[in-house]
Amino acid sequence: MRIDADFECGSIIVQELTDTGAILSIRPDTETDYFQWFYFRVTGAPDIARTFKFANAGEARYEKAWQYYQVVASYDEKNWFRVPTEYDGSTLTIKHTAVESTTSYAFFVPYLTAQREALLQECESSLLVTRHSIGRSYLGKQLDMVEIGDAVHPVRKIWVMARQHAGESMAEWATEGLIKRLLDPLDSASHALLSKAKVYVVPNINPDGSALGNLRANAAGVDPNRSWAEPNDKIPEIVAIQKAMKEIGVDLFLDMHGDEERPFIWIGHPDVNQSTKAKQIQHQLAQELAERNPEIRPAPKGYGDVVIQKTSRSDNLSFASNWVAATFNCPALITELPFAKPAHMSEDTMLQEGCLRFGRTCVEALNVVVD
């Protein structure tokens, strides 16, 4: 049996390997000491019961995540399914009898550069879309942004950004759902929204971290969503998007994430002073999303308190949603899709199809609240 992770987004450390399993440890993000993302491929004879033990799972960034967790696996990298795991408080164990000779296991369904590039090329063939590069990542990758909509009179400017946190691939799946729906000329919600708004989508603001197989950090070890107050040259991704936002303007912002611990979707609100109108629109948008997504549950209690505890009041502008809401006095929401199967749903509705569907519902919800 062989275990590989030497490919895009791949990450695992093999400590011990036998024919019936392995002892693994999860590798820390680049230049940091926290970890949780993994993605590796096992090659070997099928129909053998194998056991994979993650020896350092108990020290992962979000240790509680393992409580509800089931690993995602695939034989062809297209169709992903869950495999149950066991967690004893320190070790996470996968027991699986693969029916093919190659099996991929990941923290969540990966979203790779080739997929993004294919989607961006599809965008480029649409008359509705202009593809931009807003700058370069720490390692020099293009930071792609698509401007969707051809209305010429003054229109609302909606920004959607995903994957500040490198391993939160569900967020990028969601932007694909949103983008593809906006490209459909026969879709009435898209048509209506684009008659009054332009939508600026950054599907992956942290392409280095994603490709490196990080959970959160960029290639310099910086957490993008703690860097908005004063981004420096170690986080050029945030310098670039702030510049683009200031040049273009922002009337509404969605910051898409994944939540490691909570087995449901939740929507977070900014924690800064905002106009009553901005708050009203945020509230309405969150409600419209909840009506369309039964996986949504109320935001974790005290979410705002958690934010304040971790950072002082003066630097809570280091969070994207707070910075955008404060800088543009506009509505701004965080959307958090789960790594785990939604606990209150009988079906596992939040693999990649569910994330795409969530993105599609954003179009309808935005159309209701944007005037």
Nearest approach in angstroms of CB 257 to Zn ion is 3
How many residues touch Zn ion (CB under 5 A)? 3
From 119-127, 149-157, 255-263, 290-298, span contacting Zn ion (CB under 5 A) = 255-263
Contact letters for Zn ion, residues 168-187 (x by CB under 5 A): x-------------------
CA distances from 244 to 146, 201, 207 (A): 12, 12, 17
State which residue, 37 or 80, has the beta carbon closest to Zn ion.
Answer: 37
State which residue, 180 or 257, has the beta carbon closest to Zn ion.
Answer: 257
Nearest approach in angstroms of CB 126 to Zn ion is 29
Nearest approach in angstroms of CB 264 to Zn ion is 15
State which residue, 52 or 159, has the beta carbon closest to Zn ion.
Answer: 159
* Under rule CB under 5 A, residue 226 binds Zn ion: no
* Among 27, 165, 269, 357, interactor with Zn ion by CB under 5 A: 165
Nearest approach in angstroms of CB 168 to Zn ion is 5
State which residue, 168 or 295, has the beta carbon closest to Zn ion.
Answer: 168
State which residue, 168 or 176, has the beta carbon closest to Zn ion.
Answer: 168
CA dist 60 and 174 (Å) reads 25
From 7-15, 75-83, 158-166, 272-280, span contacting Zn ion (CB under 5 A) = 158-166
From 85-93, 253-261, 290-298, 310-318, span contacting Zn ion (CB under 5 A) = 253-261
State which residue, 28 or 149, has the beta carbon closest to Zn ion.
Answer: 28
* Under rule CB under 5 A, residue 262 binds Zn ion: no
From 84-92, 166-174, 291-299, 314-322, span contacting Zn ion (CB under 5 A) = 166-174
State which residue, 168 or 208, has the beta carbon closest to Zn ion.
Answer: 168
Nearest approach in angstroms of CB 213 to Zn ion is 16
* Under rule CB under 5 A, residue 257 binds Zn ion: yes
- Residues lying near Zn ion in the complex (CB under 5 A) are found at 165, 168, 257
